[in-house]
Structure 1
Amino acid sequence: MFGTLNTYLSGISRCWTATDGASLASFLSLKDKHIMNSNLCLQNPENAVEKVLDSPIDELVCTHLKVLYYLDIEPRNFMEAYNNQCQCVQAIVKLLQYLKDENWCLPVMYTVCGDLRVLAHRCEEMNNSLKPGEILEKAADCLMSCFRVCAADNRCSEQDTKRLGMLNLVNQLFKVYFRINKLHLCKPLIRAIESSAFKDSFSLPEQITYKYFVGRKAMFDSDYKSADEYLSFAFKNCPGNFLRNKRLILIYLVPVKMLLGFMPKKEILDRYDVLQFYELSLALQEGNVRKFDDIIQRHEIFFIKCGIYLLVEKLKFIVYRNLFKKVYLLKQVHQLDLADFCAALQYVGEKDMTNAETHCIVANLIYEGKIKGYISHSHNKLVVSKQNPFPPLNTVS
């Protein structure tokens, strides 16, 4: 494709003149076939480019051709390619500012920014950074420069506002911030999107990605009802043929649902190959502490790799709650001896459980609203409410 440099540059010129953002984006994409053409891999393309293209598009094309050069040489120099891709993004910023009354170039911005993030990941994997996350953080700064230009556009018309490009950039930034574990930097981005007059105008795929990341952040913030809302939207609207994406969403949605008291159906978990959660749900419903611990230990690597180990660990208090509810249903009294809870815990595997530890577990369940009642220390009893002493988990705030 594009046998000569002049053919390639002429194609870009036509796209620029026709304000064809989608086609121009393909000319500048590292996923397009043209990157295999060695005629386009130039270390110093300025003279040739400036003969065909005018400012500001010439700078963007020059930096792109330099990226191709560093990805073509042996051995490939990913760090220099990344540095030049950063220059590509800065050229995009100038382009956005130059086209102040137009937004047809947004697809070009999406492509160039996405390629920068991918190159940054590759450089991090090759240990080109003195400090882990340093390269990705610099890439995020470049992406933010584009975001500021888009956010500053005060045009109200959907036809030409650059604010329509905000969500794509926010999703790119989420991917970086989650990777370098700087989730606090997501807050201002979320505020910007939620307050946007165009938040319902973004494309559905972008909304799905956004809801997925915001749901995960809510999960880490222990805001499980919000996490359920966002992740459920992402799962419901993700097309059925994207099995890998639906499975990824489900890995976070299922434990959130379980924390809210909703147990998953086996056929759904089987369809997306996450039956580990079905075993957990059985242990939860039974109040079987021993079984729960065995499942956690058996699937420990899976839970750690998915980043949900601590979240799954929190489910243990639901196991305790369901076990204690069985004691309550068995005794049918509102003043329950804490020694009975201790005995129940020992029976289901907590062999070394003491009365003091049992008191702590019960106290935590009361504090979290999972049991309505209070502990009478003088009588070593749990006094529960006569009305709904074990409220449904989805009603617990």
Structure 2
Amino acid sequence: MMSISTGNVNQYIQFVERVYRTGQGNILAKLVSLRDDHVANRNLRSSDIAALVEGNCVSPLDELIITHLSCVKALCARNYMEAYDHQSACVAVVTRILSNQKEENWCLPLMYTACLDLRLVAQQAELYNPSNGKILEKAAESLLGCFRVCAADNRTTDADTKRLGMLNLVNQLLKIYFRINKLHLCKPLIRAIDSSPFKDQFPLAQQITYRYFVGRKAMFDSDYASADHYLTYAFENCHRKSMKNKRLILTYLVPVKMLLGFMPAKILLQKYDLMQFWDLVSAVKNGDLRGIDRVMEEHEGFFIRAGIYLIVEKLKITAYRNLFKKVYTVQGTHQIDIACFQAALQIMGQDDVDEDETQCIVANLIYDGKIKGYISYQHKKVVVSKKDAFPPLSGL
């Protein structure tokens, strides 16, 4: 690759043709990567790339080289929309190459690189030419072209099947859909992977990324048990030295665990620099509703950027449970006046809560299984079970 970093267009063409003829997918991927050293080679930025390539290279490699070098040239000029158009064309060429190759998949690394670069260029184009996500949405359509080619390979036992490339593409698409807030488009992709006979054969790194996004989607769908399952897998299998990634996973796993009644240890939050959650843990445990409001106000920016503000707000339900347990303990009886719970809420800053709202909160807690009992509306009392009236919360 050193010669390509300093060579001319003709040498570059010869190198591309040689690795293509010999089926060296990983090297070919580097030769069309926008993140490789050859991108800095000024000799590859001719004023008329097409004229130099056409006639000197077989099809479809001529189109691959022209679109790639044109994209490099546009990026160097900081023309991100033009770069996006060229990279989109490059992915279209890669899609045709994949489609024309029967019973072989050595070009999958080329597809991975071209599709990743398209997403990254689309993000830059969106940044400098805001389109409310339209550029990224168009990029996703290009990636779906590759996805369909891979999914159409019906060989389910052959090591050369293109279906082995599906998860890499799905992860790229999930990143786009989360970025443009089109989570409903994730569902068919998730279904395709979960039904794939190769779902346990994909590289571990790809499986971790996939489960991270599927866990986040489950969290937004209020399916906290599934979110816990996927995010826990991602966290436990993420490399121990990947502190940044483990912290990112925990940003979503911690509130999910808390909603399920598992409180994180302080040492865990300290290790991954997530102490924003510690004061929240203390407030939830103590039923301190005013404290929860204070934490959410103090760390509002963090919770909003992570997209978990509304999820964290749901922790008030657990705080209600803990507050009412304190009332139950103080009263020392299994029949507690609604007025006692109302008074506790008012002490904790819920000044305007009335009797009906208090009953509603208690009813929701009973429905969620956080209180065992029933409301006697006639006597305006909550009658709780004599055994495990407030099922215990577990800790991490």
The TM-score with structure 2 as length reference comes to 0.95
Specify the alignment match of 1:121 in structure 2.
123
Alignment of 1:275-314 (within 5 A): 275-314=275-314
Separation of aligned partners in 2, 1:139 and 1:202: 24
- The answer to whether the Cα contact below 8 Å between 2:224 and 2:256 also exists between their aligned partners in 1 is yes
- The answer to whether the Cα contact below 8 Å between 2:75 and 2:83 also exists between their aligned partners in 1 is yes
Residue identity matched to 1:123: A
State the SS of the aligned residue for 2:379: coil
Specify the alignment match of 2:82 in structure 1.
80
Change (3 A) 1:295 1:78: same
Alignment of 1:308-387 (within 5 A): 308-387=308-387
What CA deviation, in whole Å up to 9, does each residue of 1:241-283 have, x standing for no partner? 2111111111000000000111101111111111111111111
Residue in structure 1 matching 2:23, options 19, 23, 29: 19
Separation of aligned partners in 1, 2:281 and 2:120: 37
Residue identity matched to 2:269: L
Specify the alignment match of 2:175 in structure 1.
175
Specify the alignment match of 2:100 in structure 1.
98
Specify the alignment match of 1:267 in structure 2.
267
Separation of aligned partners in 2, 1:382 and 1:127: 59
Separation of aligned partners in 2, 1:222 and 1:43: 54
- The answer to whether the Cα contact below 8 Å between 2:33 and 2:113 also exists between their aligned partners in 1 is yes
Residue identity matched to 2:202: F
What CA deviation, in whole Å up to 9, does each residue of 1:189-231 have, x standing for no partner? 0000000000011001100000000000000000001000100
State the SS of the aligned residue for 1:239: coil
State the SS of the aligned residue for 2:374: strand
Separation of aligned partners in 2, 1:231 and 1:80: 38
State the SS of the aligned residue for 2:262: coil
- The answer to whether the Cα contact below 8 Å between 1:292 and 1:316 also exists between their aligned partners in 2 is yes
- The answer to whether the Cα contact below 8 Å between 1:43 and 1:66 also exists between their aligned partners in 2 is no
Change (3 A) 1:138 1:13: same
Separation of aligned partners in 2, 1:113 and 1:316: 42
Residue identity matched to 2:257: K
Separation of aligned partners in 1, 2:118 and 2:304: 28
- The answer to whether the Cα contact below 8 Å between 2:167 and 2:210 also exists between their aligned partners in 1 is yes
Aligned residues with identical type, % of pairs: 58
Separation of aligned partners in 2, 1:280 and 1:250: 15
Specify the alignment match of 2:192 in structure 1.
192
Shift, 1:43, TM fit? 5.5
Shift, 1:392, TM fit? 4.4
Unpaired segments ≥5 residues, structure 1: none
Specify the alignment match of 1:9 in structure 2.
13
Separation of aligned partners in 1, 2:338 and 2:158: 64
Instruction: Say whether residues 1:67 and 2:61 are aligned partners.
Output: no
- The answer to whether the Cα contact below 8 Å between 1:373 and 1:384 also exists between their aligned partners in 2 is yes
Specify the alignment match of 2:42 in structure 1.
38
Instruction: Say whether residues 1:53 and 2:53 are aligned partners.
Output: no
Shift, 1:158, TM fit? 4.2
Unpaired segments ≥5 residues, structure 2: none
Separation of aligned partners in 2, 1:187 and 1:43: 45
- The answer to whether the Cα contact below 8 Å between 1:158 and 1:164 also exists between their aligned partners in 2 is no
Separation of aligned partners in 1, 2:191 and 2:47: 42
Separation of aligned partners in 1, 2:264 and 2:165: 37
Separation of aligned partners in 2, 1:5 and 1:258: 58
- The answer to whether the Cα contact below 8 Å between 2:81 and 2:129 also exists between their aligned partners in 1 is no
Specify the alignment match of 2:203 in structure 1.
203
Separation of aligned partners in 2, 1:226 and 1:392: 21
What CA deviation, in whole Å up to 9, does each residue of 1:273-312 have, x standing for no partner? 1111111111111111122221111111111111100000
Give the aligned CA root-mean-square deviation in angstroms: 1.5
Specify the alignment match of 2:162 in structure 1.
162
- Paired residues in the alignment total 390
The TM-score with structure 1 as length reference comes to 0.95
State the SS of the aligned residue for 1:159: coil
What CA deviation, in whole Å up to 9, does each residue of 1:333-371 have, x standing for no partner? 222111111111222232333222212211221232222
